[in-house]
Amino acid sequence: MDRFVSPLVALLASFSASAADVVEHAEWQKHFDEKGVRGTFVLLEPANDRYLVLNESRARQGFIPASTFKIPNALIGLEVGSISDENEVFRWDGKPKMRPEWERDQTLDTGMKYSVVWMFQEIARRTGKERMKEWLVRLDYGNKDMRGGIDQFWLQGAIRISAFQQVDFLRKLSEGELPMTQRSQRLVREALVVEKTPVYTLYAKSGSTGMLRNPVNWWVGWVERKGKPRAYFAMNFVPNTKTKYEDRIAITRAILDEAGVLPSGSRPS
């Protein structure tokens, strides 16, 4: 059954998150050094009421969300009807795209998996500026600044979100505490699954601005573990000309392994 979260519950959840302890883990820097990048990492453990953090000052700094914005974009789209359901097909226009995976029809699952920009731009245009702005405020997403155009503001516009804000937002999504229907939250959670084993399920979304001005690479998500509390993560770094897509995943998994969030040796070969 769909349910809405009362403003009081949302307020208490926000207060609890902001009151959590912040514990610095400078030793995680070695994982960024191995890839020749500088960045930050936030691991939220609500069960322990704490954030484990590398580079707290950067973790509190806002960056453009890039394709991590596909998460709220999909949520809002489902809520207002810009996406009918997980089975709706978004038709490829037949024109060449940046990636081969984008040159085909898409659903919510494939659009999220392959980070299909054209599909989510269409979703944003269907939602429209007024409804998008209303929901960014209701979700308290980042700085809520939509300057840059309805289908560009999260790619090269003015919206910004910090690593701390990312994990707080993901916690609410994971636990069904966002101020929207359970259906919308459930469908987006299902689209974010990137790895499922008998022991854990990994939910994640990447984001990248490429090598534009003030570039940033993201990987954000959470881990559900059998018999253990959930853990939420957000990492970002400044890419360089040698950075590979896999670098953000390698850094994140190394830290999650080291922190005991993922089983030792769980990284794919």
Identify whether the C-beta of residue 206 lies closer than 8 Å to the C-beta of residue 219: yes
Residue keyed to tokens 């997403």: 141
Minimal CA–CA distance to 44: which of 226, 203, 170?
A: 170
Report strand pairing: 21-24 vs 200-208: unpaired
Known catalytic residues are 67
Q: Helix 70-80 vs helix 117-127: angle between axes, to the nearest 10 degrees?
A: 40
Identify whether the C-beta of residue 39 lies closer than 8 Å to the C-beta of residue 58: yes
